[in-house]
Structure 1
């Protein structure tokens, strides 16, 4: 991977090492049981990335703390907001394509619509050709969506990890976490989450994950206002 002396690069390295850790848990299984759905493929990477960024926050002060929070929020904004626009765009393309061919002008219009739907008036400049520069649209349908699921699922698990650590039950969490990663090719996300007492159909779980991001926004506003 490309690397420079920045938290963004360190976070990316931690993210990829999370994938390696996930693959290590799958390594001793038969090949057919190592296949992981996209919705779960980002679980360990998000978890590992969050550990590194929160560790940096523990000692950061002043402008450095602002920098760490900004790095976190820029990543979250891309996954929660920008990827949602990609999902809306791709969904609209399939719906329109059922009625006929689409030309570049049609794709531009759909992309601008998706960005307005997602960003509102937060963007001063829209990007009509985003569909042409993002390789994620080509190869696998709705490739973008699992990143949002993975981020929120990973943050929800991290919140449980913090609770377990505070209660002195970190080893128990570690064992269950490793078992979850080893089983991503053998059970659905719904079934695996249930082993942690998580109901993926319950809005409260997803709100809890979003609350992690909301607290980061509040912290960022607090530091920037000083």
Structure 2
């Protein structure tokens, strides 16, 4: 049912082993293997948090940030366009708070089902 809700008519039937095809997300024995995924996820959450905080003023900074991502290190691009320091906890804390909010929401939904 969830598969159908998510994918609609795009896929004919649910693949019960779909999760297993993404094994690389679960490799814990290889140091730093998942670091790029985690960094990208939390980085995008931090950018989203800034969008929420800045509202309409965010758009031009975001466009400029995207333009510079191929030419600058992450620390530099965030400092230049968002005036934040990736070496400090503030940027990452806002990212983790967004994730925590989603986990809390998920737990509330689970509690409603039981």
TM-score (norm 1): 0.37
Q: Deviations over 1:177-220 (max 9, x none)?
A: 11111111211111001120221111232122111111111112
1:211 counterpart residue number:
97
Larger Rg: 1
Number of equivalences: 96
Counterpart selection for 2:88 from 192, 197, 202: 202
Cα-to-partner distance string for 1:126-146 (whole Å, 9 max, x where unaligned): xxxxxxxxxxxxxxxx66421
1:90 equivalenced with 2:14 (yes/no): no
**SS in structure 2 at match of 1:180:** helix
Are 1:156 and 2:23 matched, yes or no?
Answer: no
Q: Which runs of 5+ in 1 are unaligned?
A: 11-77, 92-141
In structure 2, the residue corresponding to 1:89 is in which secondary structure? coil
- TM-score, normalization by structure 2: 0.68
Shift of 1:155: 0.4
SS in 2 for 1:201: coil
Superposed, 1:68-79 pairs within 5 Å as none
1:186 and 2:71 aligned: yes
Secondary structure (helix, strand or coil) at the match of 1:225 reads helix
- More contact order relative to length (CA 8 Å, sep ≥ 6): 1
RMSD: 2.8
CA distance in 1, matches of 2:40, 2:5: 24
Shift of 1:6: 4.5
